[in-house]
Structure 1
Amino acid sequence: MHPESPGHAPVEQAVTVHRPVPITPVQAAPLVPVQPGSIPAVASIVLPDGRVVTGYAIEPAKREPIATKPAVSRTAVNIALGGIGFGAVCGGLFLLTPFIAALAAFIHQLVILAAVIFSGWAAVQIFGASGHDGGTTVNIRKAVFKRNHFHG
């Protein structure tokens, strides 16, 4: 007779429940560049359950040394050098004003000297020798100008 036939009690079957087991994340080893021509050694590891894993041995990555900071910051050095440069220029700035005043006085004296020389030359030309020994004398007579033509 069949177990599901009428008149018999149903037979219970054993049920197996499978529950998923979470996989723990594996930390990946950092990749180290391999130089061409050098082949790394092969290593084998036996896991606790008896499996054998074979692969290349990877050396751990070496951290680069941290650069030491200078005792004095660059900004402080730049400010100090700027102060030294400004101090060196200040001496020249103090001398600049008297130099400009002296240059203006010198130019003023040259202008006065040129005026005196020119006025002396003009006085000689005007009041100088009144006798014309070898000069050309031009007599200007009354002239008539008509329509832009000279009729003399």
Structure 2
Amino acid sequence: MHPEPAPHPPAIRAAQVHQPAPFPPAATAPAPLVPLQPDQVPAVASIVLPDGRIVTGYAVHPAQPEPVAMKPAVSRAAVNIALGGIGFAAVCGGLFLLTAFIAALTAFITQLIILAAVIFGGFIAVQVLGASGHRGATTVNIRKAVIKRNHFHG
């Protein structure tokens, strides 16, 4: 059992191109007419293959991809993070100035209190220590008082 030899391929003939006439439109349902410019009407071509089959169709142009929307060079998240950092730095600078002002005000009030204490303390010291002599002093004699039955006898 030997396999039968394969038949010889038919002689390759040159491909013949025919331009068929288009079919007339159907009478029952007229298709809407779309005006086309003569240069936009697609060409219909028929090709006769070497084995005798006829292929008819339109020329297919490669599909153009949809234009992609341009993406920004920097993402929105990066911009938001940068703006947040700038805002945070501005707030920190303001808080630093506020704390510096409060510290300076506290130091100023402390110095005023110390100055008032020194002046008032000096005034009291002069009053107490300046009257140490007997000049113009008043002498008070204390006697023994007798209190009998809620009456003072002095």
Query: Which TM-score bucket, shorter chain as reference?
Result: 0.3 to 0.5
TM-score, normalization by structure 2: 0.34
TM-score, normalization by structure 1: 0.34
Higher relative contact order (CA 8 A, sep 6+): 2
